[in-house]
Chains A and B, each alone.
Chain A
């Protein structure tokens, strides 16, 4: 069989993907890369202005924008139907939306952890669930990627709710992978280490210089960039990842290796 080099296979021409959290950080980097690779996109975020900024730097001018609060989990079904009505069947979905609040156990509240769980986990599951319908998914299969976190696999003080929400995505991916395999929908997670994004900067502000240096030293390759995560998402969504499902790909500069 004649196969193409991997750079040519990173090709998303003619495919429609939905991206959550597209107004900043990893979601924005995924949008820009998938746009360059030829995909048509439905971009979902709470922040309308941020979405406008994201699409302003895209090559295509036919991406759909949805200003939407992912805490409204019950309405996601309608959101996805609207996305398909506007731009056709979906070949996949990258769940980048996430919120993180540093909360030690003594200040952790039920309302706070439910909010984190709703945005980070339940909304991703709600979108993924729609792929069980032939009215949503493209005939030739697809790829779902949940952006989780190294915190799904390692602990950190104050990150209890965040870790819970991200490790739950790993469980979702494994079981959905088995359910969706027959329709050639693959489901995987990408678990990033510390990536330089606006969310990262909010956490970073809580550190002094020596704390920052200590965290960076825990990453043998230093801190990452949103584009490092976007490249892994493209690998999993393009045909290059066609035999990969139910896995968690760690992209963390070596953070979890030591």
Chain B
């Protein structure tokens, strides 16, 4: 191996990796120990590699990216490996049947009383995080109101000044304990979404007060308040001045 050939090989040398285990690399390294000129070049090259590598590793992901991935991430149920039903153990099928019966019984026999607001809020945040689906995509609020009214969902909701300034992307009708919920989606302008959920205040035992209450729910920042007949939940990624910006 000549010095020039060794240089060519050592160019690809990375300390701390398995590269040096390759026979060619080992031979080139041995030559660098013997040849002063090659050795000097190699030392400089290593310093170069270290500096460039350090520069690359300084690249930092923006703070909002992770939250955005998790918020806008697709439905987690899609991540479960689909299994062919006939390959499942019989007892699993039996257990599933049992659970289904119990579940149906629970639904039929459950007391028809309003539930806790915290449960509703958590469910709505889950909708936003996992599988929100807009029934209509539009930036026309009137269209959303008409759609909600025609589908029995709250259409008389008030928008805060902060929300009025945002671009609306659409809306959807959801249900919670058989009660209709209006979902309105807003684009914050930085590729992140805000979700406003509106439901009649009588649907929960303990509606939030008129003054917006801020809470962190499932890695989202959520403001909740009641106005008139409606209770409101606004969910979005964590952000400083959340209340001041959107309420």
Q: Does B bind A?
A: no
Interface residue ranges, A against B (CB under 8 Å): none
Interface residue ranges, B against A (CB under 8 Å): none
